[in-house]
Amino acid sequence: MKKALKITGITILSILILLIAIPFLFQSQIKDAVKEFINDNLNAHVEFSDVNLSFLSHFPKASVSVSDLTITNFEPFKDETFATARDISFTMSIKELFKDFDKEPIVINSITVDEALLTLKTDKFGNTNYNIVKEDSSNTETKSSSKFSFDIKDYRIKNSALTYLDEASKMKIYVSELNHEGNGIFSAEKSELDTKSEAHVSFTMDSTNYLNNNLVKLDALIGLDLPNDTYTFKDNKGYINQLPLEFQGYVKLLETGEEVNITFENPESSFKDFLAVIPEAYSKNIEQVETTGDFKVKGAIKGIVSDETIPTLDINITSNNASFKYPDLPKRVENITINTSIKNTTGNADDTYADIHTLDFKIDQDVFKSSATLKNLTGNMLVNANIDGVLNLANISKVYPVELDKNLTGILKAKVNTAFDMDAIDTNAYERIKNSGSMSLSNFNFSSESLANPIQISDARITFNTGNVSLNQFTAKTGKSDLNATGTIKGLLGFLLSDKPLQGNFNLNSNRFAVNDFMTDNTDETTDSKTPSESLKIPAFLDCTINAQANTVDYDNLHLKNVKGTLIIKDERAILQNLTSNLFDGNLAVTGLVSTKAETPTFNMDLGINSFDIGQSFQGFELLQNIAPIAKAIQGKFNTTLNLKGSLTNDFTPNLNSLSGNAFAELLSSTINPLNAEVLNQLGSSLNFIDFKKLNLNDLKTTFEFSDGKVSVKPFHLKYQDIDIEVSGNHNFDKTMSYNAVFNVPAKYLGSEVNRLIGKIDDKSANNISIPVTANITGTYTKPSVTTDLSSSVSKLTNQLVEIQKQKLLNQGKGKVTDLLGGLLGGNQKTTQTDSTKTQTSQVDSTKTNTGSTVQKEIKNVLGGLLGGKKKKTDTIN
């Protein structure tokens, strides 16, 4: 017994070793066969990472898997991805691996495709990207036989997706979360295929969305008549969302298209089937909903599908005197009447039309009626619609499980007719858009997390006219703000039905308009900190002009009075024109724009400021604080013109480091308080001959420029008594600074020693002497550093005064020296003895030589006396 068990164990182990080892012997052979099969059958570039062979995963059958398959198109869709698949697996009998691949094909029994992505595309010229199978060249004698044949008994497609795009018809189909499986025998001439399918489907035709991620299910038993290319639906049930549909009929392939003959209807007739059409995410659990009345969907599709024709359509949806009530909600929707049909009797796609003859309902005593016809659905669609009814918005959440952050309130009344074609909307041909009727909204209250405050519209009335809508009345409040507006709106249908901008001209009046009422803070829920996630955006769909007037506009800590101006919003830009207001006991005029087209918002503004109170404006206007921080020490009024441009932060405040521009400023009647500026305190300590309280700033004018976070001030002059002051330099928005102030100081202000020298000179020119004293101002406005060259300037002045005194003494002493020399040399005496001339001349020359040193001593004595030196006693000659 032990021996038998041992033999059995060794046998099983050997078989397992063989099942693991043998695939490695065939794997290269299988990989070559797959590559050759692909190259023989596809006009496309195909790549895959590997081909694996296993005997264990589907034992007793062999399994071949192709990993990471990618198929890329050739021209005219060069390098576009047609299909990808994470894994494609085939199963076959193990004996198939022992065939001679060059003589007989491998028979495939099943296929599984996992995570496939397929894109089917038709361009505007009719080219398709899915026609990649090589044409059959059976007439070629050297044609090699295929390496594979298919005897499929089952197949599966798991977790896959499909996209179909037709540029000519503007059709888009998106199929996601696709799971499909089928069982049957394909090799028989007549057989049956049992299939189960489930997917989410979106369908758009020419900008109109008919299905939006709707869940579609289909359990279908399909009869296969391969010789006649006919596929018959025998026992089938499909679901659109939760609406069941049973259908019968067939599809037959023709040389020029397909012949279709299918009928369908919902098996039940309860109105609950209507709620089943609505996606479950919105309709919630409909099992407990109370309903009365019927709901029936019935249709027939018959005819030929070809390049020129479509099948005829006869689809009808009806409901009579129906109602529904959700168990957890207080109110019921009743008197529901639906009578809708979709028809095509000619097979011409342009003749397809939808007739919503009746769509009525009632909530409490409010009756709402509507009807519409849609013609030429595949071309320039023609629309004619009517709305007539009253709707209490508060009842919406009381009859239907819609999720709202806050409940709506208000009464909507409408009696409107509209008739238009889609081309008229696309081309703004307003004369072809026929509107009539009116609509009103009263006592409307709405709040949301996206709004800073609830909006309360007490009265809004509009009239529909051909081509435009008149806003006759709009009265609303939100937060501290009140709004009253009238105007006209153009392109309302284009905005609602397509991507056209909303155009309008409005007159807006407000007693108080608080900007913060229309802005929100983005809060990080994990930290409860306010962190703006992205910049505010000017809506791209707005194209309007607003003539605004407000008694008060509150912006941050600014309170603007008597605001008037024009705001133009277009192309993600807000343009201000001739905006005027009263602010800081003066007047403000603004022209410029803000743009949010780029990732970072930008602005360019011209500001005209007239008679602003300096104290108020520099305390309340942060920008002015950064441009001229010294002004906090000044009291009075000023005028300025500012040109500013730069970028904005996420909360729409200027990014100071991005600012560039220039300004011209003029101070009017003003005084200065040095105690409010540490710079002036230190400057006054260094220059004690100036009292900054007495500094004259009246009519001061200066120009400055700023860029890259720096303000450069061009040289300007101040006057302190008879001292002229020139100031220039720059500072940064981080409050660091580098300024030079040059004081042209008269000598009389520079101390007793200097004044004593001036007194000794006793010359008018000395009284007019002045010297430049330069103060270098660095550091920050809160911790300034002030250095001056006062000491060296006084020293230079002293040397200058000494030089003047010397020159004066020299001039005074020159006459005395001349008299002295004249006396020493005999004055102007003339000799009468001509014979002794040479002798006298010789004596004079000798005298000059002998008396030179004596003259020099005499000059020194004179200068010494004038300069205050000690005089020596001299003998008096009588």
Buried b (16+ CB within 10 A) or exposed e, 368-399: bebbbebbbbbeebbbeebbbbbbbbebebbb
Long-range contacts of 204-213, Cβ-Cβ distance < 8 Å, separation of 24 or more: 204/170, 204/171, 204/172, 204/173, 205/169, 205/170, 205/171, 205/172, 205/377, 205/378, 206/169, 206/170, 206/171, 206/378, 206/381, 206/422, 207/170, 207/497, 207/498, 208/381, 212/279, 213/176, 213/279
Tens of pLDDT, residue by residue over 739-791, are 999 999 887 787 777 777 777 666 666 667 788 899 999 998 888 899 988 88
* Pairing, β 61-72 against β 50-54: antiparallel
**What span, in angstroms and rounded, lies between the C-alpha atoms of 414 and 439?**
4
699 vs 311, 684, 690, CA distance in Å?
88, 23, 20
Whether residue 830 has pLDDT greater than 50: no
How confident is residue 330, by pLDDT bands cut at 50, 70 and 90? very high
Token pair in block for residue 861: 């004595």
pLDDT reported for residue 208: 63
Q: Which residue has the higher pLDDT, 147 or 238?
A: 238
Q: Quick one: which of 625, 629, 627, 728 has its CA closest to 679?
A: 629
Is 512 within 8 Å of 554 (Cβ atoms)?
yes
pLDDT reported for residue 577: 93
Whole-structure pTM value = 0.62
Q: Which residue has the higher pLDDT, 367 or 202?
A: 367
Whether residue 149 has pLDDT greater than 70: no
Task: Give the CB-side neighbour count of residue 842, counting CA atoms within 13 A.
Answer: 4
pLDDT reported for residue 843: 41
pLDDT reported for residue 292: 92
Buried b (16+ CB within 10 A) or exposed e, 324-343: bbbeeeebbbbebbbbbbbb
Whether residue 1 has pLDDT greater than 70: no
pLDDT reported for residue 285: 72
Q: Quick one: which of 266, 387, 392, 252 has its CA closest to 317?
A: 266
Tens of pLDDT, residue by residue over 637-651, are 889 999 999 998 877
Tens of pLDDT, residue by residue over 240-253, are 877 888 889 999 98
* Pairing, β 382-392 against β 409-421: antiparallel
What is the dihedral angle through the alpha carbons of 813, 818, 820, 826, rounded to the nearest 10 degrees?
180
pLDDT reported for residue 761: 67
Whether residue 690 has pLDDT greater than 90: no
**What span, in angstroms and rounded, lies between the C-alpha atoms of 530 and 474?**
33
Whether residue 851 has pLDDT greater than 60: no
How confident is residue 422, by pLDDT bands cut at 50, 70 and 90? confident
% residues pLDDT > 90 (the chain): 27
Token pair in block for residue 523: 């809060």
How high does pLDDT run on average in the chain?
A: 78
